[in-house]
Every structure is written in structure tokens, then in C-alpha cells.
Amino acid sequence: MLSLARVDVGHEGRTDHPDRRRGCGLDRPAVGDLPLRSLSKDGLVQRKSAGYDDAAQRHRPQQEYVSMVCPDPHGARTSDVRAWFRTRSATWPGRSKSSSPTDSKWSGSRRRRPKPRSRRPSSVAATWSVQSVATATEELSSSVNEISLQISGIQTATQESVNAIRDISATIERLSEVSSTIPAAVEEQGAATQEISRNVQQAAHGTQQVSSNVTDVQRGAAETGSASLQVLSTAKMLATDSNRLKDEVGKFLRTVRAA
């Protein structure tokens, strides 16, 4: 009994053929994963080379048409099996893809749906589409205006940022210049401080000398005072002697006058 069945490759060897339930060899697991060769006597379906890479096409949904002699339900044995595979890119041998003898017989749930008829748009739909286009155009123009305003604001902020960065860079340059002059000023200040300390040391030494000179002056003043006292006592003694001499001279003159 020759039957033609369709096998979907990539769907674990399923078949929509009704003889699957009658045990015609298609009820064995993974029929779509076996290489195509002649069917053995125990009913295993094996593939032959169909002219395409089986490893690359295994997981794609394809259609296989298997023509085989199914075992007779009353005990007849399978005598011959041949298999033909058709992919989406291949055509039926000698016929076009649409003229395959199995397309009309085993289409099942794969019937083509009729194309919907093209309807001419009504005036209401055309008006609505025009209004929607106008509304969309207005919204687009407003969005473009908003975007342009935002871009202008961004440009202004960017220019302000650039100016601020320039001011900051100028300030940093001035700070660098001042920082470069600070070490020279510090050196000058250090030199002035050293000079001041040297002058202070000299002033201290001069103060010590002045204090020693003042001590000497005090000693000389004390000596001068004692000498002045001696001169004063001597002057007093001379005054007494001069008075006595004056008295003696007066007595002598009076004696001379009396004589």
C-alpha cells in the first residue's frame, strides 16, 4: 500500500499523515533527523542527500514528502521505500512548486488565505487622514521650535561656560604669576630678617659698650666729686690763711704808721 506523507523537519519528526496511527513507519521518533537512505526491512525511514547542508537546515521549518510502502494492516510486509524531500528553495522534480501532487491532497491546515480586497478610502477617512497629517505637522513644527529653542539655550549656556572657563584660566595664570613671585619675595624677606637680626646683635653689642662706658663715667664722676671736695677743703684752708695774713698785714701797717 503506497502512501504519501508530509513530515515537518525541525518539529521532532511530526507528521500529519493519517497512516501514522496505523504504524506505517512514520510513528518512529525523530524521522526528520535521520539521513536519507533506503528504508530497511524493519520500516526505519532514512534520508538521502537532498543537495543542501543538513546541519544548517535542521532547525528550520521545512516540508518533506515521503513516499513509502506502508505495511498492510492485515500483516503485509514493506517491500520498497523511496523518499523525496522538498525545501522552500527547491521545487518538485519536473513540475512547478504549486503543481505538486501533494499540495492539494495534504494541505490540511496550511490553506492559503484569500488576499483582502483593496478598498478605496472614503472621504471621511481622507479628511481624517489630512487632519491627522496637519495635526502631526503642527506638532512636529512645535517640537522643532522647542528643540531649536533648547538648542539656542544650550548654545548660550555653552558660550557662558566658555567665557567662565576663560576667566578661570586667566585667574589661574595670574595666580601662577603671583605664585612664581612669592619665592623671590620670601627670599628677600629672609635676607631682610637676617640683616635685622645682624643689626639687633650689633645694637646689643653697642648697648653693652654704652653700659660699660656709663659705668666708667660714673666711676670718673665719683672720683671727680672726691677731688672737688678736696679742692673745696683746700680753698677753705686758703681762705682762712688769707684772712690771718690780712690781719697780720693790717697789724704791721698800723705798727708802721704808729712809728
Give the domain ranges of the chain. Answer: 2-98
Q: Provide the percentage of residues in the chain whose pLDDT is more than 70.
A: 50
- C-alpha grid cell, residue 82: 523511496
Residues 59-72: tens digit of each pLDDT = 444 444 443 444 44
The answer to whether 91 and 97 have CB atoms below 8 angstroms apart is yes
Q: Give the pLDDT of residue 225.
A: 85
Q: Give the pLDDT of residue 125.
A: 53
| pLDDT profile of the chain (259 residues), mean per 10 | 41 43 42 43 44 47 41 41 43 46 46 58 58 84 91 93 93 88 88 91 89 87 87 87 85 80
Cα–Cα dist 93/49, whole Å: 15
Q: Which of 50, 60, 55, 47 is nearest to 92 (CA)?
A: 50
* Residue 163 burial (CB count, 10 A): 10
Q: Give the pLDDT of residue 134.
A: 82
- C-alpha grid cell, residue 229: 671736695
Q: Give the pLDDT of residue 123.
A: 55
* Residue 8 burial (CB count, 10 A): 16
Cα–Cα dist 96/118, whole Å: 29
Q: Give the pLDDT of residue 213.
A: 87
**Can you tell me whether residue 164 is helix, strand or coil?**
helix
Q: Which uninterrupted H or E stretch holds 65?
A: strand 62-69
* Alpha helix stretches (DSSP H) within the chain: 54-57, 123-258
Q: Give the pLDDT of residue 180.
A: 84
At which residue does the C-alpha cell 629672609 appear?
Answer: 190
